[in-house]
Amino acid sequence: MMEVKVVENIYLLVLVTLLSVLQNAFFALKVEKECKIHNTHTSAFERVSCASRNCMDAYATFLAVMWCAGLCLSQAPAAFAGLIYVVVRHKYFVGYMGQSCQSTPGFLFGKRILFFLLLMSMVGIFNYLLVCVCDNNYTGYLETITKAASALLLIP
């Protein structure tokens, strides 16, 4: 009961947050496209600084989408996806810092996880609207499906 009440108080905010997350993804894609053309990060400082900045730029987006997914639908799968994101981010950062002869990873990372969290938030909002309009509550089913789906994130 409490969850529905909480969602009632935040669902519009969550919707706008999701929209801004989508916008962030659009910006990031643009930067990545330009990044592929210009490839002049040579010194160690520039590489590590660039890697950190890329991670930090995505951090607020990640936090926003993880909290929205956790509050709107189900806590455990959102936290699990967040945990995997942290691991992926670590691997990205370490890979970026490596030798310059290695292929440096792109501007974006953890796209699949962020997309999963975004989808979870949308399903949560949709379920809330369904509860309001049709009085059909599929929250139990959705939580089971989400838990099963979050295990798929472990596939590399």
Residues at the interface with its own copies (CB under 8 A): 2-3, 5-6, 9-10, 12-13, 15-17, 19-20, 23-24, 27-28, 30-31, 34-35, 37-38, 43-45, 48-49, 51-53, 55-57, 59-64, 66-67, 70-71, 75-76, 78-79, 82-83, 86, 89-90, 93, 97
Task: For residue 149, count CB atoms less than 10 angstroms from its CB and return exposed for 0-12, middle for 13-18, buried for 19 or more.
Answer: middle
Instruction: Return d(Cα 31, Cα 25) in angstroms, integer.
Output: 10
Shortest spacing between CB 133 and its own copies, in angstroms: 18
Of 12 and 129, nearer to its own copies (C-beta) is 12
Q: Between 136 and 137, whose beta carbon lies closer to its own copies?
A: 137
- CA pair distance 145, 143, nearest whole angstrom: 5
Dist CA 40 CA 1 (whole Å): 55
